Amino acid sequence: MITLINYGSGNIQAIANIYNRLNIKYQISKEESDLKNSDKLILPGVGDFDETMKLLQNLNILDTLNELVLIKKIPILGVCVGMQILGNSSEEGTTPGFGWIKGKVKKFDITKLSQKPHLPHMGWNNVHPAKDTSLFKNVTIENGFYFLHSYYFDCSSQDDILAYSEYGIKFPSAINNENVFGFQFHPEKSHQNGIELFKNFAEL
């Protein structure tokens, strides 16, 4: 069972609609018992780093998530700010992230951006795989993905970069370490490419 973690933020229904279309079983929950009975977890995210961590803290599920991810090795996918909180910290706030993938979230340097308005980075952009992964099976890479963010994940290790994109600088747009995965873009807004990604995650 895939659990979409319902902590009060993120495009949960958009992801649910995709799994309904694919006829893949899922549940939307914030209950500890449901999380512990999951085969996979998805952390959607819309908003800022500190607020997202605060919402999760208020549910008292941080210890449960750490157990499932670090000890039981349940696959987890973070989307947008859901990816950013996989790291250690963010320039957007002061609250620590999970630290499941080592790295710091940084704000784009607007002096390196030619596009106006400079931020947020919004719209379709290319994604370039950095390594082979089944997550991009049947994905039409040249069609790109939809982005909406002002901060990017600066990985401590290049080995954790699954794919990268360019916006003034080259930045990680997909990350992975063992059972932990993250997408900076919004697959739920990326048409057929996003559908394929969620399908592939379900099949891991």
Q: 92, 121, 188, 196: which is the annotated catalytic residue?
A: 188
Residue 188 is a catalytic residue: yes
Closest C-alpha among 113, 84, 53 to residue 185: 84
Residue 51 is a catalytic residue: no
Residue 196 is a catalytic residue: no
Q: 118, 186, 196, 203: which is the annotated catalytic residue?
A: 186
Q: 31, 80, 118, 149: which is the annotated catalytic residue?
A: 80
Closest C-alpha among 89, 36, 28 to residue 65: 36
Which amino acid, residue 192?
A: Q
Catalytic residue positions, numbered: 80, 186, 188
